[in-house]
Every structure is written in structure tokens, then in C-alpha cells.
Amino acid sequence: MANSNNFASVYTKAMKHTFILIFTSILICAAAQAQPSRLSIGGYGEVALTRNFYSDNVYRYSHPDKYKDDPSHGRFDIPHAVIYLSYDFGKGWSVSTEIEFEHTGTGSAVEKEYTEAGEWESEIEKGGEVELEQFWLQKTFCPQFNIRAGHIVVPVGGLNHAHEPLNFFTVYRPEGEFTILPSTWHDTGISIWGRAGAWRYEAQLIAGLDAFMFDRDNFVKNGAGSPFEFKVANNYGFVGRIDNYSVRNLRMGLSAYYGRSMHNTYPNDLHDTRYATLKGRTFIGAFDFQYDNGAVILRGNADFGYVGDAPEISTIKRNLTSNDAPYKKTPVARNAAAAGAEAGYDILRHFNPRDKEQRLYIFGRYEYYDPYIPASGEQDYTYTTRQRIAAGINYRPLPQIVVKAEYSHRFLRSGYNNEPSVSLGIAYMGMFK
């Protein structure tokens, strides 16, 4: 009888513990299946250390022989530090923001212009030092159709489509697209986008570019910015992008921008009969791709830009705008072009194939670009035509972190001094919550 009582006691305790275990397991499973947090926090950042083995004198292109033996110079920088904040309200409504700090500073910056005069210029870095790069509200109806309104990224070109530091091998952003296009290009407007099968599309209506902000050394790069407390939108820009994912591990994209860039400044100068008929039609077309199978990564881009009425715009900027206006006096190119490709191979897979997180890519990159291809009869500035090669390593101890090292060499046309450099960089990119 005593044994029966003991057995009953043990059985009761076992059943009790089993019930507790089952109940606890149910709670754990329920928690695991619960909706994730509606708040998302993330970001990315870069640190760059560079030694340039060429002159930094502003006359090095107008008098190259005089400065070919100048000492090297070094630059340390934090190009970008970004914080993402997103919130899902439910029922298809969400909001997202991106705050970016560039070069660790705020307010104004002083620089020397790369012109024959070499003048010091103080610039208000509105949209360049501390900026709200994204701020939009989105309604998702289905994967194939979404509407986004607010301040959005303009995905023209490979760099603007994927501008985070783990999406390129070089320490700094790819030089060609970064020179001729706004980067990261962001503007206020409306976007419609979606994905169906192997295709993704996006169409945008945004504020147009400002022709008076175009210049010789950067083509339309500064045209998306504004020196004012608001963005002038007398004219509008139209953006389209299509990406295809039909081939495994491969993405291919086509993107374009079109808009009128004249009379898109403050105050509205359309009443000025001297150039009221000028349109400044601006077109940019780009192709980019990425192939990534883990062991091999290949990326490439080709971009072409056109500005109508470029000679007339150059004359207006030089002769008709006041000296204290926030516009550079350098001429505007009729065309600009950039093309580049990079390849990387993970050599760690041969030493520890079971490690799925660590990567050590050996990479090489080549690019050609020219921000100033003048109209017929206009003066050419041949130093703007450049080729660049870079080679180095990317070590990724974790998927979200990279350590970069590279040697690069910028080749200019005959008569100018080439520009070699060595750079080190660290970067991260990820979601914290």
C-alpha cells in the first residue's frame, strides 16, 4: 500500500511538471509567433583614412609641371553616419526616416575652388552636412502596388539604388557616379512602386533640378540641392526604374530622369525676356547590375547625361547672375558620362568552407568618367576626363561589418599628373531592432 501511495505521489508530481513544461512551451511558441516590433532602428557608417600621393594645390591642373613634385597629403574623414527609424502603423501604413551626418560637421564649410583663380569659397552645406535624407509615409496595397509620399531616395544609377558601404568594395563611393550625379540623390515627391515575380518597378514625380547649380566639375550633381530654406519646384522631374531578377543571383536595372532645369530657382526668373524661352531640358539614363553568389561578386554601371541649352546656361551664370548669388560661375557641360565595373572573390572559403559569415574579398575596380563633355565650339577642360583603377581587400568578420584597404590610381590625360592614393576604411550596416 505504501508503494502504491509512493507511486501515486511520483506520478502526480510527474504529471504536474509535464503540464507546466507543456504550458511553458505553448507560451514560448506563442511569443515566437507573435508580431514583431513595429519600430525598426538601424543605420550605417563609414570611417576613411587616406594618403594622396599628389599635389593638393588648386593650380595643379592649370600648371601641372610646377606641382608634379609636391609632397603627398593625408585626409581622415567620416563620410557618412546614418540612422534609420521606421514604424509600422498597421493596415498597410508605415513611415520611415533617415538622418545622415556627413563629414562629422554641421553648418558652413570653406573650400578652394578648382579654377584658375583658386578662390576661397564659403558654402552653406544645406542638405550636405546634416540632412534628413528620407522622410516618407507609405501605403501598401499589395506587393505589386505601393504609394510613398514625402522625402525619398531617387534611384537613378547603381550608386543611388544601393549607396550603403557594404554595396561597393572601394573605401569611398564609386567615383564616376558620385562625381556626375547627386549622391545620395534624395528629393521630395511621390513614388509608386511594386514587385511582381522577377520584376520590380518604381516611378517618381519629384522637384526638378536647378540648372544654375550645375557646374563644370560635377555636371548636375549639385542641381538637386538648394541654398534656400525650401526646395524650389517651379518645374518637376520624372523618374523611372526597372529591375529584373530572372537569373539566379543576378540583378539588372535600368533607370532614367527627365525634367526642365531652367527657371527652377528663386525668385522665379521666367519674366526675364533675355532667356525666358530656354528650357534646360535634362536627361539622365543609366544601366547597372550586380551578380552575387557568395564566392564571387560582380558589379557594374554605365551612365549618360544631357543638358539642353548648356552654352546659354553657362553664359547666363557667368554674366547675368550677381556675384553674391549662390551659384558657381563655371560652365555647364552638354553631356557627361561614367562607366565602371568591379569584381571580388572570397578567398576564405578555401580555408574554412564551413564558416558562412566571415568573408575576405580580393577585389579590383576600373572606371571612366567625364563630367564635362562640352557642346561643339565650347572650350574643353581636358583634365575632367579621368580613368581610375583600384585594387584591395574587403574583410567581413560578420555580415554587417567590413574592413577595407585599397590602392587606387587616377589617370588623367597626357600633360597632367596622375593621382595615386592609399586608403583604409571601416564600415557597418545593419538593423539594431
Q: Residue 72's domain is classified under what CATH number?
A: 2.40.160.10
DSSP secondary structure string, 62-110? TSGGGGTTPPPEEEEE---EEEEEEEEEETTEEEEEEEEE-TT--SEEE
- pTM for the whole thing? 0.85
My answer on whether 24 and 152 are in the same domain is no
Tell me how far apart the alpha carbons of residues 274 and 419 are, in angstroms, rounded to a whole number: 43
My answer on whether 107 and 10 are in the same domain is no
Poorest-confidence range of 121-135, 199-213, 253-267? Answer: 121-135
Tell me how far apart the alpha carbons of residues 140 and 6 are, in angstroms, rounded to a whole number: 63
Tell me how far apart the alpha carbons of residues 360 and 344 are, in angstroms, rounded to a whole number: 9
Residue 7, pLDDT > 60, answer: no
My answer on whether 171 and 188 are in the same domain is yes
Tell me how far apart the alpha carbons of residues 165 and 396 are, in angstroms, rounded to a whole number: 12
Residue 352, pLDDT > 50, answer: yes
My answer on whether 81 and 191 are in the same domain is yes
pLDDT confidence tier of residue 182, bands split at 50, 70 and 90? very high
DSSP category for residue 307: E
pLDDT confidence tier of residue 26, bands split at 50, 70 and 90? very low
Burial of 98 (0-12, 13-18, 19+ CB in 10 A): buried
Maximum mean pLDDT: which of 28-32, 106-110, 149-153, 315-319: 149-153
Residue 357, pLDDT > 80, answer: yes
User: 428 or 20: whose pLDDT is higher?
Assistant: 428
Instruction: Output 291-297 pairs: Cβ under 8 A, ≥24 positions apart.
Output: 291/249, 291/250, 291/251, 292/249, 293/248, 293/249, 294/346, 294/349, 295/345, 295/346, 295/349, 296/343, 296/344, 296/345, 296/346, 297/169, 297/343, 297/344, 297/361, 297/363
My answer on whether 5 and 72 are in the same domain is no
Dihedral of alpha carbons 9, 11, 16, 20, sign? positive
| Side-chain-facing half-sphere of 113: CA atoms under 13 Å | 17
In this prediction, residues 39-44 reach a mean pLDDT of: 95
Domain count, the chain: 2
Contact 342, 170 (CB under 8 A): yes
User: 228 or 250: whose pLDDT is higher?
Assistant: 250
By residue count, the chain amounts to 433
The pLDDT value recorded for residue 11 is 44
In this prediction, residues 207-236 reach a mean pLDDT of: 93
My answer on whether 76 and 1 are in the same domain is no
My answer on whether 26 and 101 are in the same domain is no
Q: Which residues pair with 287 in a beta bridge?
A: 254, 302
Tell me how far apart the alpha carbons of residues 280 and 316 are, in angstroms, rounded to a whole number: 12
Residue 128, pLDDT > 70, answer: no
My answer on whether 18 and 76 are in the same domain is no
Tell me how far apart the alpha carbons of residues 101 and 13 are, in angstroms, rounded to a whole number: 61
Poorest-confidence range of 98-112, 166-180, 317-331, 380-394? Answer: 98-112
My answer on whether 159 and 265 are in the same domain is yes
Range of the domain at 245: 40-431
My answer on whether 209 and 250 are in the same domain is yes
My answer on whether 93 and 5 are in the same domain is no
My answer on whether 52 and 23 are in the same domain is no
In three-state secondary structure terms, 359 is strand
The pLDDT value recorded for residue 21 is 44
Residue 247, pLDDT > 90, answer: yes
In three-state secondary structure terms, 379 is coil
pLDDT confidence tier of residue 36, bands split at 50, 70 and 90? low
Contact 286, 243 (CB under 8 A): no
